Structures are given as C-alpha cells and as structure tokens.
Amino acid sequence: MPYRRGWHARWAFGSAFMILGATAAVACGTQAVSRNRGMPAVTSTSSTTEPVTTTTTTTTTTTTTTTTTNVLRPPALPTPSTTTTLLPFTILGALPAGRPLSGKVIGVDPGHNGLNYTDPAYLDQQVWNGREYEDCDTTGTQTPNGYTEAQFNFNVATYLASDLENEGAGVVLTRSTNNGIGPCVDQRAEILNEAQSAVAIDIHADGGPPSGRGFAILLPVADGLNDAVIGSSQAFGEDVLSNFSATGMPISTYDGTDGFSYRDDLAGLNLTTVPKVLIECGNMQNSTDASVLTSTAFQQSAAVALADAITAFVG
C-alpha cells in the first residue's frame, strides 16, 4: 500500500526509538529454484555501504548495526496458510523454458519495511516526489488478524527474485530484509533508476474499504522526469494485468477503472526513468482477500504471474 490519498491510510503498532540506516547493495546473480517449492530458502547478500541490494547464490552472513532503546515489538504474526486446495485462486507453476531474461536487470521494490513502525520520525521526514514533498515512507497496512503488508510485499518480492534469476536475470531489490527501516520512497526510485533496470515493479497490498476486493495496477502520469517511460509503463501494466488475472484474484472493485489507476502523487512513479508500475495485489482489509494474500501458495503464484508479465515485456 502506498502512502498517499484514497484508502492508503497509515497504521502503527506503537512508538519506539530505533534508528536504522537503510541501505542495500547491488549485484546480478542467478539461482536455480524448483517451481514445486514449499517455502524455499533464498540466499542474499547485503552491504551497509552501498545503496542497492540483490540476491545471489552465495550464502553470507549479513551484519547490521543498530542503536536500540526499548524498542517495541509487534505481536507475533500469524503463520501464513499453506493450504493448496479449495482456495479461491489459481495456483500457477510453470515459467518460460530456458533463460529468456539473460543479461537483463530487473528492479523489484517490496514496499515499506518490517520495522518502519519503530521510527515515526524517520517516516515523517519530507522528501521530494517529483511534484511536491511527501513523507519518506509509511508502515503499510495489515490484515484484521495482524499480518503485515510489509511481510507480504517482501515474501512476494523474494519469490519473484528467485523466479527471475532462474530465467537468467540480474535482480535489484530495494531492501534485502523485512527487519529494517526504509529506505525512503525517493531513494527506492533512485536505486532502480541507477541500476538501469529494463523494467521495475513496486509490490504492495492495499488497505481499502472492507467491502472492496481485488488488485489494481497504478501507472505513472507524465511529470517531466518520467515522460520517456509513460508509454512503456502502460504497455508493461497491460502485461501485468493480463498475467496477474490468471491468479484468480479479481480486478479491484473500488480502485481505478478496469484494473488501472493513474497516479501523480507517488514518488516511485513520478521519479522513475525506467518502465515501472505499482501493483496492489489485493485488499488486506477485505476478509476474502486477506485469506488469499496470507497464503503461501498465492504469494508464490503472484510471483510467477509477475515474472511472466516481466518476461512478456522484456523477453
């Protein structure tokens, strides 16, 4: 869930005093992953001195320096469902044969971060979004049972990175963990721009009206900096719409028109210089969508659908 108008309201677990520098490192790696996985381990590397993150095949130890004083911890998250039958969505499994994305760099931005709620001052700092100043970031939304959007976003992004690497792509992530703060939304855009991504996607879930269902694709509006990628972003959005519909998640009943919502108030879209869309994968405030979004099987299927869309656009 982005953090501006409409149903994109902020929530927080409580106050705390934790400051964590959010940085990440970039690399292009490959990782062979079986499509018949349950909850696969994904190896990653990160650095506290470079602003970009990627996954690789080498398992390393990640060191993060934090300064913590009486940090509040959120309640334990419910375990995602692993049910694979009688679910109101379609389980996708097959990726294109071969390595159609070899030599391509793909940008993936899992929205928010798991400890954002601990540092309101960090979130409230103002950044330029290409049109106006806005908050650095928000906590994101959650299901009524407390499953966080930040966790959902990170899970899908991790599965997607594995799928894309299996197709030969180098994947640039804006964060490599769900146990940090930030980065700010303008920094996320900069990370993916500087990587010269062939295409990029921001992964979110919405916090809309409880009666509303479905996914929506948010598209950029020309504002100068992003003018050159408006047409290509629209084309990519159409690939995402077609492929994500195959998951069985319906098109949003409350956000946008026919699955598309044009936004001029989001830094990630305003500041992009590469083809990009933001997807709200469903509505966490709707009980039906929530049960789907927290399912491991759906998160994996969502990743496959996004990988298929990326391959269709780039391959």
Could you list the active site residues? 280
How far, in Å, are 34, 160, 242, 259, 312 from residue 216 at the CA level?
29, 18, 12, 5, 19
Query: Sign of torsion, CA 80 86 92 94?
Result: positive
Q: Are strands 67-69 and 105-110 parallel, antiparallel or unpaired?
A: unpaired
The identity of residue 214, as a single letter, is: G
**What is the per-residue burial (b if ≥16 Cβ within 10 Å, else e) of 174-212?**
bbbbbebbbbbbbbbbbbbbebebbbbbbbbbbbbeeeb
Determine the Cα angle at 88 with ends 87 and 93, to 5°.
70
CB-CB contact of 164 with 15 (8 Å): no
Q: CB neighbours (10 Å) of residue 82?
A: 10
Regarding beta strands 105-110 and 199-206, do their DSSP bridges make them parallel or antiparallel, or are they unpaired?
A: parallel
Residues in the chain: 315
